[in-house]
Amino acid sequence: SVLESQGKYEEAEAMHRQALEGRNKVLGPEHPHTLTSVSNLGSVLESQGKYEEAEAMHRQALEGGESVLGPEHPHTLTGVGNLESVLGSQGKYKEAEELEVQVMEKRKSVLGREHPDTLASMGNLAFILKAQGNNKKAISLMAECFQLRERVLGPQHPCTTF
């Protein structure tokens, strides 16, 4: 949100909580828009270092997404990535790695090997591997990811020049 981009995390959290409450009342807890609000709240909580609550929100959004949209829906896969992110932020690298491998493989199957979301998963997995000290595998995966991003997105794209 704009508030988050301005570093106004407490205001953003309040806004996301209000949106979630409203969507719960009007749409119900299983509606995809409500699940998006759960995920958005989880992300702003993670930005504030409230990792345990963020993890709970992302798990709730993921469970709902799997139930309502299915385990291979792009929004569900994004939910897995969100959970992986907060797990990594907490140093829970093994679980984060398992989730990122899962989401990367599903994205390859559903979206294709060269889709930007698949490439994002490859990059995320490389960072998790590096955090665990698996530098050789991390460097190899990041090199592959970079080459694919450069070919697919172009050499000047922000995701290529990271």
pLDDT per position in the chain (162 positions), as tens?
788 989 999 999 999 999 999 999 999 999 999 999 999 999 999 999 999 999 999 999 999 999 999 999 999 999 999 999 999 999 999 999 999 999 999 999 999 999 999 999 999 999 999 999 999 999 999 999 999 999 988 888 877 765
78 to each of 7, 18, 40, 89, how far by Cα in Å? 23, 23, 12, 17
27: how many CB neighbours lie within 10 A of its CB?
14
Closest CA to 20 of 52, 49, 53, 48: 53
Confidence (pTM):
0.87
Instruction: Decide: residue 1, CB within 10 A, 0-12 exposed, 13-18 middle, 19+ buried.
Output: middle
- The first and second tokens of residue 79, run together, are 């939910």
pLDDT of residue 154: 86
CATH among 1.25.40.10, 1.10.3210.10, 3.30.43.10, 3.40.50.150 for 1-90: 1.25.40.10
pLDDT of residue 162: 58
Which residues, 6+ apart, have CB-to-CB distance to 22 below 8 Å?
Answer: none
